[in-house]
Amino acid sequence: MSEEQRIQESEELSMEDFAEELEKTFQKVYTGDIVKAKILELNADEAIVDMDSYMDGILPVADLVYEGEVLDELYHVGDELTLMVTRVDSAEGQIFLSKKEADKIIIWDELQEKKDREEPISVKVKGVVKGGLRIGYKGVEGFMPASQVSISYVENLEDYLNMVLDAEVMDLDAQERNLVVTRKAIEKKQAEQAKKDVYATLEKGTTLTGKVVRLANFGAFVEIAPHVDGLVHVTDMSWKRVKHPSDIVHEGDIVQVHVLDVDPVRERISLSLKDVAGDPWNAISFREGEVLTGKKVVKIIGSGAFVEVADGLEGFVHISQIAPKRINTVSEALSEGEEVNVKVLKIDPEQKRISLSIKEAAQDAIIQEEEENIKSYTQDSDAIGVSLKEAFKGIHLD
């Protein structure tokens, strides 16, 4: 062997040794391995990743992005990912990877961390099943009980189909592949924070827009902020007498309310509908001594009757002012809903009282009728006198 051949063989051996040594510096991977990789290049079909190997790491977008996720919003060049090796192609020098397959293994550790921290996750509603919703999270299917869908009553679970909801991990079992989540817990926290914010800033005298969410015999509950309700007592619903809140409002109505009181300790907010409309006492159009006709009796009590004299204004007729003769009970002469004529005896704006009389209104009507009869008679007499004068005109008596 010539000297030149020996030198060439020595160089070839050195190159092989170098390649072997270089290959030793790269990690060897096999199908099923979980590896860390950094994104080098990102395009619409795949991501090229560096996984410290002499072969290219290929991550198809279909194995990276879940339904509803946007690639460019979630991933960028330089991001480090945890991936599973799905195939090694030595001939082509490529390693194929999947984030979704890796998620199926590491997701349970991630979910446990989320549960421990009470950190929300975004789940997609995939279906409605008995007792709740079937949800999905990064390839893992789970369950949201109907009682945990919302802090409010849910009438139709179908409304949530295909929606993406924030939820907390409620129960978790990695061995059984069991995941139970709650949205109600998040809403409760939001409601508590909303209450704190409202009670910290809300002031008496403020006028707000709210939604009627519930009616009771004693009033209406109006939502003035998410999950924050105030009560409009039945006496504060209108200036006129209200028998039931449904006479004024219905569930779902959007109304303007006036804040009467805020009690952070008892977590109570008192509201008023009537104060927004304005006090009718500031716009009284009648005066004392005036007779008002066709007014409705709205309530009868032992001592008399209340009569609506204007929108939001009531006056009181004492039993002694109902009839010209003595009566033992108000119902002998009046019934609720009946229309009557009343005379205004006294207006007391400070006490917000109006005294009325049906008896005096009737007496005034009689007097007025008599006066009109006398006037009519006088006019008729004058007319007769004129007629006689005309009849005897030209006749002379000697």
Question: Regarding the domain delimited by 20-102, which CATH topology (the fold level of the hierarchy) does it fall under?
Answer: OB fold (Dihydrolipoamide Acetyltransferase, E2P) (2.40.50)
The CATH code that applies to domain 118-187 is: 2.40.50.140
- Number of other CB atoms surrounding residue 50 within 10 Å: 14
Per-residue pLDDT at 358: 93
Euclidean distance between CA atoms 334 and 299, whole angstroms: 10
Domain ranges (residues) in the chain = 20-102, 118-187, 203-277, 285-361
Degrees to nearest 5, angle at CA 273 with 336 and 228: 130
pLDDT at position 9, please? 58
Would you state the pLDDT for residue 297?
Answer: 93
Q: Report the C-alpha gap between 148 and 32 in whole angstroms.
A: 37
275 closest CA partner among 246, 235, 314: 235
Phi and psi torsions of 378, nearest 5°: -60, -45
Q: Are 320 and 329 in contact (CB under 8 A)?
A: no
Domain 20-102 and domain 118-187, same fold? Reply is yes
- Please tell me the predicted confidence (pLDDT) of residue 19: 45
Q: What is the CATH number of domain 285-361?
A: 2.40.50.140
Per-residue pLDDT of the chain (398 residues; tens, 9 = 90+): 555 655 555 555 455 554 454 454 456 788 989 899 999 999 989 999 998 777 889 999 999 988 778 888 889 999 999 899 999 988 888 999 999 888 888 888 889 999 999 999 999 999 999 999 999 998 789 999 999 999 888 989 999 999 999 999 999 988 888 999 999 999 999 888 888 888 888 888 888 899 999 999 999 999 998 888 999 999 998 887 888 999 889 999 999 899 999 988 888 999 998 877 667 777 788 898 999 999 999 899 999 999 988 877 889 999 999 998 889 999 989 999 999 999 999 998 888 899 999 999 988 888 887 777 777 666 655 555 555 556 556 555 55
CA-CA distance, 170 to 172, in Å (whole number)? 7
> What was the pLDDT predicted at 166?
95
Strands 94-98 and 56-60: parallel
Residue in this structure with the two tokens 């509908």, named with its chain if needed: 273
Class of domain 203-277: mainly beta
Helices (H) and strands (E) in the chain, counts: 6, 20
